[in-house]
Amino acid sequence: MNQIVKNLEDDDESGELRPARLSDFTGQSSALKKLPVYIRGARRRGEPLDHILFYGPPGLGKTTLSRIISEELGVGFRSVSAPSIAKPGDLAAVLVNLAPNDVLFIDEIHRLPLIVEELLYSAMEDFKITILVGDGMNSEPIEVGISPFTLVAATTRKGMLSQPLQDRFGIQFRLEYYQSAELGTIVQRAALKLGERMGEEEALEVARRARGTPRIALRLLKRLRDFREDAEVEYSVDFIADCLDEMGITPEGLDELDLRYLEVLTDQYHGGPVGIDTMATALSESRDTLESSVEPFLIRTGKLAKTRKGRIIPDQTLL
């Protein structure tokens, strides 16, 4: 079980920069208005908070909010990634070790095997699971009670979740991309935690190139710290812009993979239409990477369109 359950910090390169309370969290105003109400209600009643589903693009704070919820509730936190749960016994080992009202966070829940997902149904509704004891024809189903708990799940592909599983989440939030001003605030706070001094305009320059995503903004901040220490200078807008240019991040937030994608689609396939599998082969990247990390931003910025025939570059963006 130790290989399955892990602390948030174990797989979070920016864990030390993340807020620990809702009052410190910036952005996602819709969720922040409702979550404190739901949390206070659960605490008053001494009950587990209803199960929560966070969905939306990667890097927007789903994991961070999950950890904060456990802190606000004053309960234990367990984290597991769905791809690491191969069989029902893996999940059962996690569930039976939860303390009352604990928060269990499952990341990438859309990748949970169906046979494991079915075990979750009774766990979420009745706080019971059925396990098989014995081998082969001699095995018998045994019902085991588990402690009441809150499942907080995260997914970038809500459409891949079965309806029965979706229906068991009483609270659902779609996380949205951040505005530059919100990201600027996050960058400034993170810089202080790193012992760095960064002004508002400098932080906004980082934010504008971070694709509306805190995870990207924090990664850029750490690399900028390396450049600043190496150059032995103070931050300035021009210095930050030059460093980000050197890192291959354009003023619009495009990175090297984005530019390669647009170049291949424009030059090799004359602007499309091209199927996603063809693009993945041409770029030597996985389809999942392109669909989850590249295409959403290109579509959002109007540089790419998806049609029934495939991906195309709109006329106004042809290079």
DSSP characters for 30-44? HHHHHHHHHHHHHHH
Rounded Cα distance, 158 and 56, in Å: 8
Pairing of strands 140-145, 149-155: unpaired
From 26, 64, 155, 156, active-site residue: 156
From 64, 67, 102, 107, active-site residue: 107
SS3 283: helix
Catalytic annotation present for 33: no
Report the candidate in 135, 171, 136, 137 with the shortest Cα–Cα distance to residue 153.
171
Rounded Cα distance, 264 and 285, in Å: 13
Q: What is the dihedral of CA 273, 278, 280, 286, to 10 degrees?
A: 120
Contact between 68 and 9 (Cβ < 8 Å): no
Catalytic annotation present for 301: no
Which residue type does 315 have?
D
From 209, 211, 215, 303, active-site residue: 215
Overall residue count recorded for the chain in this entry: 319
Other beta carbons less than 10 A from residue 223's beta carbon: 14
Other beta carbons less than 10 A from residue 217's beta carbon: 27
Q: What is the CA radius of gyration of the chain?
A: 22
Rounded Cα distance, 266 and 284, in Å: 17
What are the E-state strand segments in the chain?
A: 52-55, 77-81, 102-107, 128-133, 140-145, 149-155, 171-174, 305-307, 310-312
SS3 6: strand
Catalytic annotation present for 62: yes
From 26, 63, 64, 185, active-site residue: 63
Catalytic annotation present for 156: yes
Q: Which residues are catalytic?
A: 62-63, 107, 156, 215
